[in-house]
Amino acid sequence: MTLTRRAFLRTVGSGAGGPAPAVITARGREALVGELGVLTSAIVPPADADEIRISSNENPMGPGPTAIQAIREHFDDSNRYPMNARITDTDAQDRIAKMYQARVENVVIAPGSSEILRNAVRAFTGPDRPLVSAECSYENPVRTAEFFGTPVKQVPNAPDLGIDLEKLAGAALGAGLVFFCNPNNPTGTVHVREDVEEFVRFVAKESPYTYILIDEAYHDYVTNPRYQTSAELALKYRNVFIGRTFSKAYGMAGLRLGYAVGGAEAMAKLRAYKLTFGTNVLGLAAACASLDDPAYIEKEVARNTEARQYTLDFFAKHGFSATDSQTNFIFVEINRPAKEFREACAKFNVQVGRDFPPYEKTHARISIGTLDEMKQATEIFAQVLGISTTDAGSDRS
Ligand code: PLP
């Protein structure tokens, strides 16, 4: 009889006999078999046991049924380049443009929004035009700038660990590109519409040659009613554009599709760096189909909100504070190095996020899996953080 991952974790949680998973990870399965003789699946996870992977802000549910149906329907078209297939790059661009009541010139699609971020740095920064970003934000633009030898200005985060817009605005003067992640990864915090508009207006007036990339990768997960997409601002101000992805709420990280929306001139500059044939037919088909299925996103957001709240309640109940997450991950003050926490969790097959300087000595980023996964993961967190299991158990309904 094989033991499922969940059953295995339950076994661990209930204190059943046998070596702790920490031991299994440290010594390896084969070594243990050698030491202890024949092991039953009751004490060793099966070789194919998967993990609770809450490290990369992925949607644990995957693409919705409409997207999966579209993939099936386009599978036999996979021999075609995206410009020759039944669904093309232009179709997707068109579909996205319609959604924003914009024109195709206002949209650039890419194999994931990572390419948008990277190409934005290439298109809009240079030796005399630095990149500006918050100190604790998504690292891709800063890494890209460093790779190309472009100067970078990073501003400290605000006391709530969110992006300090005043500091960002100050640093923006004379910059080539400002990277403004809203909601911010890894802190999960958002800025509301009025604040974003004030920031944009200031930069556009005081530094008209500075471009602003507002990364909305986690847009769909926001529950703060005062938040709004900056798409409208992107179509109004020539130096502003947004980045979006199908990798998060749409559950398509492995299908690779993202896009930017902004003024035609900025989008033409960005498009010049576009990878030829970077997109794929299945990703295009799934993305277009999923835009016609808003009910899936609604369901996914409700699911994430419930699991996020469960996890936040667990930490709050045990005295650990977290930022105000508006995303599918949380940023928790665990009062110990993230590495130590991460490695301890990994020994129980729970994978949490990487280090996020300058908070890597105190905070961990934990992505939100299914509610069931979060119930199991919090049991492991309780063990790792030294919270009594009885307390942790009473958390669950
Ligand atoms: N932007 C942010 C804020 C992210 O967190 C990520 C991925 O985690 C990306 C962009 C890139 O996503 P993708 O390339 O899958 O669209």
Distance 291 CA to ligand 1 centre (A): 19
Average pLDDT of 308-321? 98
If you count them, how many residues does the chain have?
Answer: 397
Distance 247 CA to ligand 1 centre (A): 7
Pocket test for ligand 1, best of 55, 59, 108, 114 (most atoms within 8 A of CB): 114
CA–CA dist 198, 201 (Å, integer): 5
- Nearest C-alpha neighbor of 116 from the set 179, 186, 209, 67: 179
Residue 1's pLDDT is what?
Answer: 31
Minimum CA distance residue for ligand 1 atom 2: 217
Q: Out of 31-40, 266-275, 356-365, pick the least confident.
A: 31-40
DSSP 335-388: SS-HHHHHHHHHTTTEEE----TTSTTTEEEEE---HHHHHHHHHHHHHHTT--
Task: Give the whole-number percent of the chain exceeding pLDDT 90.
Answer: 84
Higher local confidence (pLDDT), 186 or 20: 186
Half-sphere exposure of 50 (CA within 13 A, CB side): 5
Q: Give the pLDDT confidence of 181-215 residue by residue, as tens digits.
A: 999 999 999 999 999 999 999 999 999 999 999 99
- Looking at every residue in the chain, the average pLDDT score rounds to 89
Distance 165 CA to ligand 1 centre (A): 21
Residue 392's pLDDT is what?
Answer: 47
Residue 178's pLDDT is what?
Answer: 98
Pocket test for ligand 1, best of 56, 57, 140, 368 (most atoms within 8 A of CB): 140
Structure confidence at residue 174 as a pLDDT band (50, 70, 90):
very high
Q: Is residue 76 predicted with pLDDT exceeding 80?
A: yes
Average pLDDT of 127-151? 98
Task: To the nearest 10°, report the CA torsion of 308, 311, 316, 321.
Answer: -70
Higher local confidence (pLDDT), 7 or 379: 379
Distance 302 CA to ligand 1 centre (A): 21
Question: Are 51 and 6 contacting, i.e. CB atoms less than 8 angstroms apart?
Answer: no
Distance 245 CA to ligand 1 centre (A): 7
Which residues does ligand 1 sit against, CB inside 6 Å? 57, 112-114, 117, 138, 181, 185, 215, 217, 245, 247, 253, 258
Structure confidence at residue 389 as a pLDDT band (50, 70, 90):
low
Q: Is residue 277 predicted with pLDDT exceeding 50?
A: yes
Distance 31 CA to ligand 1 centre (A): 39
Q: Give the pLDDT confidence of 329-369 residue by residue, as tens digits.
A: 999 999 999 999 999 999 999 999 999 999 999 999 999 99
